[in-house]
Structure 1
């Protein structure tokens, strides 16, 4: 059964993704007078300004990952598989070109046309606006497999093609003629680049040679060679320095002086993977590079020796992150440890606040001398880490365990580097055993101590400031099996350890004495403590989860439902939700107070690590074989979301992971409607036959009906308000020599204000409904009308039922039957009492003199008595249960 409406979490955006193996594209915006950089990241195109390297646009996502990228003055062209798309305004797809049978691997914009080449060696020239094929050329793969394409500068309607066989061909696209065939160098051409000089082209070969060739006279001007493998990218400086840069598959960059015809300098380890794209900014000493290591770098050449330094960069993990945790209490930084061995901090606010703490190393100085590629001192990737903001400006605030390594490292967040200490037991200070390694770590909330658990069952505590060993839990070791998790409470009173043998132990933090030990139903795979509430989450190897209260030391909740290994857990800031991720590709949210599953959704790749923001606004996740950190917004903060338990047969739906651009929750309005229908409980008029229901009207509508005469008497003014006499515009005078004013005459208002009701008698709506109900016996309409009136209007309506008020005996009888119906159905109970009391007060004389009305009143009296007896029984029963519960609690 699939649940209607939206879930608890909605995809927001992804952090830490900047580049892929696809070469970047550099564009100039004439109106802005600024250079822009476009890179392919997954299924979208990111556009950055070169000035600040800030992201300015993210395109809409294509159905598959982008494999080829190009751009002209107006459009960005991106292809996946055999389909080519054109993006306008860096965002929406405006053209689609379909016609290739195989994957496109080369693109070249060409005036009003764009050229694409697929792996089956078919070249198609497309008309950009009409999306029609202008020309199609099939090359023989055995003799000329196209591997590079270039439009030489000033060569009208001509393109230069490079091949895997090493030869080059110059074609006229307009006439579809082969103009010239260059014999080449019998080595595969990997890249072609236009030199600043007309007719000169740089040809990169698979052997590492770079040939600077004049294509007008078919003459080689100069030849260079690098020893790092094939040439992946070439670019020329155009700011007055005759320099050519070349990229290699291992991340090094060579800079060649074209005047001296020699190697000028090397920039080693510019990227940790192959240099995918390389562009000198025209007229500026800036070089932009990108690579598959998820990094974009802008290098500036302003120093001696001609070498470049990093001016600006955007970089994420070059290998998938393994562990993420929010750092601090503001919810703005996420610490992430990756398989590439680095520890990085990603900002949820802006990319400019991202920072890398570097790669773990046994000896940092020796590592820097050797370089990244030859570094034998590099530590294995971080598996678990813990961080605290207290004292982070004074000493190291992060401690980390490395895969299969006994030494734990400290890291300094403020200095963004490795810390001063290497934490390991003293007995292993001289030799490092291969089979013993650190498995779990935690830092006290004060930031003074780090607690480390080993695979042997040892648990040691160290001082973070000095790195000194401060003791061990247990005589030799805390557990018989490996430590699967440990946690320190918020006040440094208790430390909780979990061992693979299936025991949870509580120790006094200071004295190191064992306080309590309990056996678990299965071997734990990890534990997580919510310090504020004292709730401990325990994940087991049998895919179940238990929640333990550290005050009572009892298991208070047990959850089952995952069908794969539980990778990570996180608590919501208030401790009400436990969110878990598993290898079954689900992310589940458990509500601890109710003990129920309230949300579950599927992702296409299992979540390896989870962390919830301390402010509760985002859930962050990392996934198998993915470089990004995905943010999911907590929809319960800004829209109506069902927190009811999910049914047993609930089938989670697949949720698409978000892109770089923040996702607007566009379906919120529509989802809210369905959500309202699902959440809003419309109570029936009567829950059960034995129960009595009150109306939902405010007390002011019925409580004071019997006291209306008293209220009117209190509110009556002492004397009627007098209207001030208005002076006439022309004051009259007595005729004569001496003008005298005529005094105003006193108005004698002796006219009677008594209205003859008989003349104005008119039936009200309530009166008409009561008359109709005599025959239909349906009293809903008159009752609803009466409920909508105020106390004064109710009194007027009830007075008008008597014959002297213009009513009749039949209507009075009908009113009494309406009260009887209300008592029978046992709803609007207090209204029935109030209306009947007012009716009796107004018409007691008439009721006692009319036999029919008297009979109806006596029947109502018996009915009231029975209802009150039944109500008293219910009250007594409830009071009895309450008294019993109170005595049991005391």
Structure 2
């Protein structure tokens, strides 16, 4: 999502998306030497590595939901509404194909062609290289509604088109002629797939039948039928065994032995049938690995290594099947989010890497029975989780998460360490024995700070305390023999010192109880009915959300109302969250807006709106981001806190102000003439290598990033050379032919004479200056010095030592040349480049030429300039280091 309009938040990224009903696509990338899997998640698509199913990249948001996706060796091709988008490497938009008048739902690339079909049965042929339309075929939907397209192998410029009426056409797209019509089998065609055998096409029908048909002779080779409804996917193994797999709308997968012509095995409930079953399937070429995707937000890889020829789940990446009901950051680092979904599942999402995501399973009345069944057919599955609470104090010793479920008086416990549901089912005996409370339900709960007690509130007005380790009842908060409240409980909380329990009912009565003695201390009556409240334990502030859409802030130490926020929302407030320092309160409402309230001033400092209403929000314990979940949305969205990265000036938002929109991030900026800018001259298989600039910012100090051996020991070079001195004398080079004169030395170098030599050239030859010294003497501008120093850095330690020694008169140089070298170092200091090497070279210069510098006023003058630049340089660096250390120490102290 994009937070350009928000004063506090900026977009970061969504979590929890894996796949929807659009079939996944597999392609092999030579540069990476691995297969990449592309899945659709709404308006964007994701690219996974087949190795560990880690996310490689996520595309930008399309204007509308993606309706089809496919890929070639060069492009990832997606369709949104009536436009087709070409992506380079899955991340850079390089072309848009326009021409369809209806939504495109079929994309078929082959060679340099692309076949696209829209919902009005208009078929277009595009040239991908030139991005131009070559052909358009129009079909009558009443007689021939296109449902599938396939390009048979070895059939040049020909495609097979399947219809909902059951007919199949063989077209030549080059001559625009209908070659042949296959009568079909009186059932709609759902899938067309090329078989490993030439001329044979696999055809899946709505009736569940699968035909392997010979196109050349119009004869059926093999016929199969699955009893699970329409065929939604077809794939063939290419690693040897003659095996075909088919998917169904119920989520089952059938494995067919083509040699024996029978059903070899089946994988029931591979995906959820409530979300369309198996949407896409594809074998990795040359491997016994099957990739499947589904609308249940899952991507799975199956490996065929079973004794009966069947497959087992090898790897998977899953998310919520249904939208989450509540999300909370877990722990003090803010690196994990605990999320409860409407499918009665509890999941952990990592804000660091998708590889750390995991599922804690689905809630079950009997886990032993549930283990024998798939999730979709579990007879003991519990209703969705309505609310949960956790504490990290005892997370590795016993269950540290408690959940209540919709319509139940029972509370379940979960363990973070084992990532599964615990054995305890907490419910008071009164709800089973007393008919007055037969319909009572658990409505709220909290865990004590010590992690030992769970406190549960019910619709009957009771408040019970249990030991979460054993499940034993440890007391009830009540008035004599009467329940704690006359009305249903809405929220319950305990303070950080286990001294107080706070409860609130639907009538707006908030009561304060002694934690240990279970006695009533006092109560506060709110001016309206209470919806829920949230306690910030560090600041002892209680945010009470009223049914009038107002928010009342109570100080639990004084039991007084500290703040009241009115006229904020015009619909029910769904959730509130305190910032990590207790300064801000964020509230979300069903009117699709959220407000940020500044507690010290009592003003609203930010007013934002979402595309859909937020159902749950939470601030990270580190204060760096906000997490939100939304209505009918499977994902969790993360928003960065701008105040941690830049200075922001917050002002009170006027009452009549319009909310700032927060829309999906990475939206495509489409222009009418944008296609003119899209040109490709690079192989798409090759991954572009990022080249860092020499200096990111002129205000930053840059290192040379050379190996330490090139500069660290320059001052001790004499000692190193003495230790590395060879024991045996060097051997003379082999004599060269008599007619080829050589240059004296250890290396064999021929002496080549030039016919023409000018007087300047002669003077240069007799000069004692090195090549570096000659070039340094001619340098005048800063660019010249920068280029000279870049060449100087390429030399080794011994060469650098020789060059610096040759600057002095006794080495063949002169005083002006020594001054030039100091100017060179001073220029690098001004540019804030090559910090470590400049210091090393300056140290070696001073060590070698100390006596010459003392006797030369010109050198001393230039050296004082270098000293001033060095002092300025180091002062800035020291300030940056001190700031960084201060910030890191503050972060460490806040986590402890």
TM-score in terms of structure 1 length: 0.73
Structure 2 residue corresponding to 1:599, chosen from 593, 606, 610: 606
The C-alpha deviation readout for 1:92-136, integer Å capped at 9, x for no partner, is 221211111111121111211111111111111012133322111
Distance 2:612 2:61 in 1: 18
Structure 1 residue corresponding to 2:492, chosen from 451, 462, 486: 486
Structure 2 residue corresponding to 1:298, chosen from 301, 305, 330: 301
For residue 578 of structure 1, report the CA deviation from its aligned partner: 0.9
Helix, strand or coil: the match of 2:370?
Answer: helix
Mapping of residues 362-377 of structure 1, within 5 Å: 362-377=365-380
For residue 44 of structure 1, report the CA deviation from its aligned partner: 1.6
Distance 1:329 1:90 in 2: 36
The C-alpha deviation readout for 1:662-715, integer Å capped at 9, x for no partner, is xxxxxxxxxxxxxxxxxxxxxxxxxxxxxxxxxxxxxxxxxxxxxxxxxxxxxx
Distance 1:534 1:209, change over 3 A: same
For 1:444, the equivalent position in structure 2 comes to: 448
Question: Does 1:528 find its partner at 2:542?
Answer: no
Question: Does 1:538 find its partner at 2:541?
Answer: no
The C-alpha deviation readout for 1:134-163, integer Å capped at 9, x for no partner, is 111111222221110001111111101111
Helix, strand or coil: the match of 1:352?
Answer: helix
Distance 1:583 1:208 in 2: 43
Distance 2:391 2:358 in 1: 17
Whether the 8 Å contact between 1:58 and 1:660 is mirrored in structure 2 is: no
Whether the 8 Å contact between 1:544 and 1:559 is mirrored in structure 2 is: yes
Structure 2 residue corresponding to 1:588, chosen from 591, 595, 598: 595
Whether the 8 Å contact between 2:4 and 2:10 is mirrored in structure 1 is: no
Distance 1:439 1:143 in 2: 57
Distance 2:358 2:159 in 1: 43
Helix, strand or coil: the match of 1:501?
Answer: coil
For residue 434 of structure 1, report the CA deviation from its aligned partner: 6.2
For residue 310 of structure 1, report the CA deviation from its aligned partner: 2.1
Helix, strand or coil: the match of 1:373?
Answer: helix
For 1:142, the equivalent position in structure 2 comes to: 142
Mapping of residues 429-828 of structure 1, within 5 Å: 429=432, 435-474=439-478, 475-560=481-566, 561-658=568-665
Whether the 8 Å contact between 2:4 and 2:662 is mirrored in structure 1 is: no
Structure 2 residue corresponding to 1:414, chosen from 378, 395, 417: 417
Helix, strand or coil: the match of 2:144?
Answer: coil
Whether the 8 Å contact between 1:13 and 1:660 is mirrored in structure 2 is: no
Whether the 8 Å contact between 2:364 and 2:370 is mirrored in structure 1 is: yes
For residue 5 of structure 1, report the CA deviation from its aligned partner: 7.0
For residue 653 of structure 1, report the CA deviation from its aligned partner: 1.5
For residue 429 of structure 1, report the CA deviation from its aligned partner: 4.6
Helix, strand or coil: the match of 1:428?
Answer: helix
For residue 430 of structure 1, report the CA deviation from its aligned partner: 6.7
Distance 2:559 2:332 in 1: 28
The C-alpha deviation readout for 1:616-640, integer Å capped at 9, x for no partner, is 0010000111111000000000012
Distance 1:288 1:482, change over 3 A: same
Distance 1:367 1:431, change over 3 A: farther
For residue 659 of structure 1, report the CA deviation from its aligned partner: 6.4
- What value does the CA root-mean-square deviation take over the aligned residues? 1.7
For residue 660 of structure 1, report the CA deviation from its aligned partner: 12
Question: Does 1:171 find its partner at 2:171?
Answer: yes
The C-alpha deviation readout for 1:318-348, integer Å capped at 9, x for no partner, is 1111100111111111000111111100000
Whether the 8 Å contact between 2:61 and 2:667 is mirrored in structure 1 is: no
Mapping of residues 316-465 of structure 1, within 5 Å: 316-429=319-432, 435-465=439-469
Q: Which moved more, 1:304-313 or 1:444-453?
A: 304-313
Whether the 8 Å contact between 2:6 and 2:607 is mirrored in structure 1 is: no
Question: Does 1:221 find its partner at 2:221?
Answer: yes
For residue 592 of structure 1, report the CA deviation from its aligned partner: 1.0
Whether the 8 Å contact between 2:151 and 2:160 is mirrored in structure 1 is: yes
Q: Which moved more, 1:19-28 or 1:650-659?
A: 650-659
The C-alpha deviation readout for 1:754-797, integer Å capped at 9, x for no partner, is xxxxxxxxxxxxxxxxxxxxxxxxxxxxxxxxxxxxxxxxxxxx
For residue 373 of structure 1, report the CA deviation from its aligned partner: 3.2
Distance 1:584 1:434 in 2: 36
Helix, strand or coil: the match of 1:366?
Answer: helix
Distance 1:628 1:270, change over 3 A: same
Question: Does 1:307 find its partner at 2:310?
Answer: yes
Mapping of residues 32-51 of structure 1, within 5 Å: 32-51=32-51
Q: Which has the greater radius of gyration?
A: 1
Whether the 8 Å contact between 1:495 and 1:507 is mirrored in structure 2 is: yes
Distance 2:234 2:6 in 1: 50
For 2:254, the equivalent position in structure 1 comes to: 254
Whether the 8 Å contact between 1:14 and 1:658 is mirrored in structure 2 is: no
For 1:821, the equivalent position in structure 2 comes to: none
Question: Does 1:90 find its partner at 2:90?
Answer: yes
Helix, strand or coil: the match of 1:563?
Answer: coil
For residue 164 of structure 1, report the CA deviation from its aligned partner: 0.8
For residue 389 of structure 1, report the CA deviation from its aligned partner: 1.0
Helix, strand or coil: the match of 1:56?
Answer: strand
Distance 2:357 2:124 in 1: 43
Q: Which moved more, 1:643-652 or 1:94-103?
A: 643-652
Whether the 8 Å contact between 1:508 and 1:515 is mirrored in structure 2 is: yes
Helix, strand or coil: the match of 1:306?
Answer: coil
For residue 4 of structure 1, report the CA deviation from its aligned partner: 10
Aligned length: 659
Helix, strand or coil: the match of 2:90?
Answer: coil
Helix, strand or coil: the match of 2:40?
Answer: strand
Distance 2:520 2:308 in 1: 64
Helix, strand or coil: the match of 2:661?
Answer: coil
For 2:675, the equivalent position in structure 1 comes to: none
For 2:886, the equivalent position in structure 1 comes to: none
Distance 2:7 2:145 in 1: 51
Distance 2:445 2:504 in 1: 12
TM-score in terms of structure 2 length: 0.72
Distance 2:305 2:110 in 1: 35
For residue 476 of structure 1, report the CA deviation from its aligned partner: 3.4
Whether the 8 Å contact between 1:251 and 1:268 is mirrored in structure 2 is: yes
The C-alpha deviation readout for 1:12-68, integer Å capped at 9, x for no partner, is 100001111110111011232211111112222211111121111222221111011
Question: Does 1:56 find its partner at 2:56?
Answer: yes
For 1:123, the equivalent position in structure 2 comes to: 123
Gaps of 5+ in 2: 669-896
Helix, strand or coil: the match of 2:585?
Answer: strand
Distance 1:110 1:179 in 2: 19
The C-alpha deviation readout for 1:56-88, integer Å capped at 9, x for no partner, is 122222111101111111111111121111111
Helix, strand or coil: the match of 1:367?
Answer: helix
Distance 2:367 2:578 in 1: 36
Gaps of 5+ in 1: 662-890
